């Protein structure tokens, strides 16, 4: 359901997710109860702010402290509640933007966020153009070879199908022989490639993958029947399904290895000295309640973490 007010508020029913049991190839999480959350998509965000904590700010790299700004890169593909343009179609908003601003506040820095592509986000961190990437970036073992991470959210993945779909997804076999839309270079791509290999090894048909980079393209493919499902971040898939009525979430995957869940993190260049200060800033936001308040604003409370981790173990096969 969707209601948009004159002030740009969207009322959505946000599904709370139950916990997951760890399995080898990715864990389905059963949907729980729902509650209504009014999400502000207007340009005037009245953004949450935090205060500088000198003991944390002093641990940031000297060059960053002297500059006085936190240079952040992030993508926008109109996928609320994580990252999108406001109702004026030009103002960047979303949880990823807001959490970067709060981290900058604790570090005593003015956050300057630049909208970029997924590929250029990584190049920008490599070159020093960005101090940090805040863009729903999952921690993986491969990425840890080049980057440092400070976690701030669980990385739940949703399987989204057309509203008239007659299947659910709780295990790899449920997608065997089906065509799935994905973004390349993402954690969900690795999960589905692994699931497809498991299906093939079990004598089932593999999963056919079609790659898209824009939300408009993969949702057009979904509605036209070119693909059976889209796998992407749970918050954006759930928001799309609930606000358009054209699709529904038919499964949620919490990819894990043993008890190691997939986590979203702020990404910085390896050994740049940014990860530990950012983790400390996030822990301060958790302590003072700003973190929980921000998650609640965007309907993401079910993806909270109790503590920010620096370079945790990535999921299996990543």
| Domain extents in the chain | 19-31+156-254, 54-155+261-303
**Mean pLDDT computed over 25-52:** 70
Q: Among 18-22, 134-138, 259-263, name the one with the lowest average pLDDT.
A: 18-22
pLDDT in the model for residue 8 = 58
Among residues 216, 157, 211, 212, the alpha carbon closest in space to that of 188 is found at 157
What pLDDT was estimated at residue 37? 65
Architecture of the 54-155+261-303 domain: 3-Layer(aba) Sandwich (3.40)
**21: pLDDT confidence band, cut at 50, 70 and 90?**
very low
Burial category of 189 from C-beta neighbours within 10 Å (exposed 0-12, middle 13-18, buried 19 and up): middle
Q: What is the DSSP string of 82-109?
A: TBEE-TTSSSEESHHHHHHHHHHHHTT-
Q: So what's the pLDDT on residue 227?
A: 98
Q: Are 243 and 10 in contact (CB under 8 A)?
A: yes
pLDDT reading at 22 higher than 80 = no
Choice among 129-133, 184-188, 310-314 with the minimum mean pLDDT: 184-188
Structure confidence at residue 278 as a pLDDT band (50, 70, 90): very high
For residue 151, list its beta bridge partners: 265
Mean pLDDT of all residues in 175-192:
93
| CATH T-level assignment (fold) for domain 19-31+156-254 | D-Maltodextrin-Binding Protein; domain 2 (3.40.190)
The C-alpha atoms of residue 218 and residue 220 are separated, in whole angstroms, by: 5
Intrachain domains 19-31+156-254 and 54-155+261-303 with the same fold: yes
- The DSSP call for residue 242 is H
Mean pLDDT, rounded, of the chain: 87
Is 70 exceeded by the pLDDT of residue 38? yes
Average pLDDT (33-37) is 49
Backbone torsions φ then ψ of 58, nearest 5 degrees: -70, -15
Answer positive or negative: Cα dihedral of 239, 243, 247, 250: positive
Which residue in the block uniquely carries the two structure tokens 């749970």?
234
Pairing of strands 31-40, 110-115: unpaired
* pLDDT for 290 beyond 70: yes
Residue 237 has pLDDT above 50, yes or no: yes
117-123-124-125 Cα dihedral, nearest 10 degrees: 120
Query: What's the pLDDT score for residue 256?
Result: 46
pLDDT of residue 10: 58
């Amino acid at each position: 359901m969707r209601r948009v007010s004159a002030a740009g508020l969207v009322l959505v029913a946000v599904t709370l997710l139950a916990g997951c049991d760890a399995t080898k190839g990715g864990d389905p999480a059963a949907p729980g109860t729902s509650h209504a959350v009014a999400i502000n998509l207007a340009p005037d965000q009245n953004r949450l702010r935090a205060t500088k904590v000198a003991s944390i700010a002093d641990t940031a790299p000297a060059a960053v402290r002297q500059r006085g700004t936190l240079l952040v890169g992030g993508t926008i593909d109109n996928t609320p509640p994580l990252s999108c343009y406001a109702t004026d179609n030009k103002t960047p908003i979303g949880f990823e933007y807001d959490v970067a601003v709060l981290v900058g506040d604790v570090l005593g820095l003015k956050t300057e966020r630049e909208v970029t592509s997924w590929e250029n986000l990584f190049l920008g961190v490599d070159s020093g153009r960005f101090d940090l990437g805040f863009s729903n970036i999952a921690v993986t073992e491969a990425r840890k070879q080049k980057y440092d991470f400070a976690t701030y959210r669980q990385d739940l993945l949703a399987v989204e199908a057309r509203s008239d779909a007659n299947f659910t997804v709780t295990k790899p076999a449920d997608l065997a022989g089906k065509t799935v839309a994905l973004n390349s270079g993402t954690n969900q791509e690795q999960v589905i490639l692994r699931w497809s290999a498991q299906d093939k090894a079990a004598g089932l048909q593999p999963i056919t993958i079609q790659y898209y980079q824009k939300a408009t393209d993969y949702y057009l493919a979904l509605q036209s029947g070119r693909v059976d499902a889209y796998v992407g971040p749970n918050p954006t898939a759930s928001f799309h399904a609930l606000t358009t009525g054209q699709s529904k979430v038919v499964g949620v995957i919490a990819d894990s290895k043993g008890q190691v869940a997939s986590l979203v993190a702020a990404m910085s260049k390896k050994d740049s000295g940014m990860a530990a200060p950012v983790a400390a800033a996030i822990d301060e936001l958790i302590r003072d309640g700003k973190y929980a308040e921000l998650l609640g604003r965007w309907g993401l409370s079910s993806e909270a973490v109790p503590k920010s981790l620096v370079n945790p173990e990535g999921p299996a096969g990543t």
